[in-house]
Structure formats: structure tokens, C-alpha cells
Amino acid sequence: QTPAAASTLSSLMSTVRAINLVLPEIEVYLAGSSIDGQLVLNLRSTLVHPVVKVELLGRGYLRWLEEENPERDYEKSMACTNQVVYVSKTQNFHIKDGWLDSGVHTFDFHFTFPPNIPSTFTSKIGCISYIVQGTCCSSQVVLAKEERCLLLQGTAGNCRRHMTDTAPLVVEVRKDVVYFCCFRHGFVTLRISLEKNIFCPGDTIVFMTDIANRTCKYVRKVIFALHCIVLYRGFSSRGEPRYLEDQSEVTRLESRTDTAPFEAMRVTSALVLPKPMPVTSTLRENKIMAFRYELVGTSDLPCTTSTIVVRVPIIIAA
């Protein structure tokens, strides 16, 4: 790069004093809705033949490592990856007379989200993200750029297949206990009951838990958690499909029960769902990730290493 070219580039770069995206105060956007905003450009001096644009971008990406050949003695990791573009829209602004004078210039933009895109999501393996990006260029040189992340609630998913799941749901688990120190045995039963098992992001899940303690010890507490189980679909470096299932905790609640020996207790609990969150879906719908949910109740049995676990399938729809 010649000194003259470097000087010209430096002059161009200093032309833009500031670039800002002004967005509406909406915490979560809904798939199929619209976004209206402004790109505000503040120039120190006149800018000739500028290119000013705003882009709406939504992408999904995942990556994990797995052992390439488990039968061999040495370890060799292989990266499994996949990516997809959910939305890519650009609005280029017409510059009258081909130049912008010094001062502040405001450009209005409007985008509509596709109706079938998934929710914003982040894990240690993959992510689904949406951004609005404003850019000012001249002579194919990017002079200024600003990005703003958006939270989006997807509505994709076949709701019809869930219509048969609107009935009340009850799941019961019994765990036998043996106390060798006093040569006694007994059992603990956990039963979780829900009036329905279809919920929307932002809803409150209200459920009842019946604890039947038929042991000689107290059942002190039950921990409730909503788990999100994600099935990822990636490809190896040789183009072979690979699948990985992983789960994370969405929200949890610890309930002190102190159920006495040979007594029973009923506990009413509530978990508030976040927003946004992915809806229950398949790989066909989300292309690289499939989502399902479980409400899990866990209790450590007293004076033992045993744990009783109740898993209740939950459907998230929007």
C-alpha cells in the first residue's frame, strides 16, 4: 500500500464520526412479526459515493468433538459441524446525488421475520442467533459498522400432532429402600400431576407432587427442574452424518418437604418458563437441532445413596 493510498484510506475512515442503530424497545420479537428502526449516521465531512445498508441475519451453527475411531489405542478427535441460514435480508439506501454532506443522516428500515424460523438459543454445542447490522462503506472499504443482537421467539412446530396431549398427565415412580444397619426395608413413591402438559414460553407450570414415605427416615426435599433435551445433527470432515444428544437445565425449584416416616404429603409447586425458548420440534423443522422437554423431580432417599427420579414429558408450543 502506497503512502498516498494509506492517507486516502485514513481520511475515509475518519469521515464517519458515529453510526448507531435505533431499535424499538421490544424485548422479544415473534417469528412472522416485523421490526422497524433507524440507522443514524454522523459524518465529519462530505462522503462521496457511499454505500449505506442494514442487514437482518439469522444463523444456526453447531460444533462438537468426538473420537474418530474408538477401537484404536490412540485418541484422535474429529470435529462435527453444521450450519444453516434462517434469514438473510438487506436494505440498501438510495443516496441522492451520490454524496452525503457532513452532519447527521437518518435512514428508516423495515424487515419482516419469516414465520417458520426457530427461537434464539445458545448452548456449549450450538447456537441460533439473530442480528441487525448497519454498515457504511465507500470504495469497497467498510468505514463504520454496528451490530445489535435480537431475541426471537419461534413458533415453528407441528401443533396438530400435540392436540391429543391436552389431557391431564400423571407420572408415578416407586423406589424400594433397604436399611442394612437396622434390617428394615420400605419404599418411597413420588407422583407428579399436571392438568395439562402443553405450555407456551413465559407460562407458569403449576403441578402437584404426592410423596408417600414408607420408610423409617424423613424425606427432606424434592428438587424440580425443567430439562431441555437437544438432538444435534452435524457432519464429519468426510461428510458423514453425526448425531449428539445433550441436555441442559432451563429452570429449577428446590422444595423442602420434611415428609415424616410412614406419612404422605402433597406439595403444589410452580415453575416460570423463560421467554424466548425453543418450541418442541423435530430435525426436519429446525434443520440442525431438535428440541424436547422434561419436568424432572428428584429426591435423595434418606441414609442411602439411592435417588428417586420422576420424568414428565412437557411440550412447549407457541
Q: How many angstroms separate the CA atoms of 68 and 100, rounded?
A: 56
- Examine the pLDDT at 272 and tell me if it is beyond 80: yes
Give 32 or 8, the one with higher predicted confidence. Answer: 32
- Examine the pLDDT at 12 and tell me if it is beyond 60: no
Domain 16-153 adopts which CATH fold?
A: Immunoglobulin-like (2.60.40)
Lowest pLDDT segment from 50-54, 58-62, 182-186, 193-197:
182-186
Who's near 240: CB < 8 A, 6+ residues apart?
none
Q: How many angstroms separate the CA atoms of 42 and 244, rounded?
A: 48
For the whole model, what pTM was predicted? 0.86
Supply the pLDDT for residue 6.
46
**C-alpha 208 chain-centroid distance:** 27
The ranges assigned to domains in the chain are 16-153, 169-316
- Which grid coordinates belong to 89? 435480508
Nearest to 231 by CA among 270, 186, 275, 281: 281
Over pLDDT 70: what percentage of the chain?
A: 88
Q: How many angstroms separate the CA atoms of 7 and 35, rounded?
A: 39
Instruction: Note the pLDDT tens digit of each residue in 91-108.
Output: 999 998 889 999 999 999
CATH dotted code for 169-316: 2.60.40.640
Say whether 169-316 and 16-153 share the same fold: yes
Mean of pLDDT values over 56-75: 81
Instruction: Note the pLDDT tens digit of each residue in 70-93.
Output: 566 556 788 999 999 999 999 999
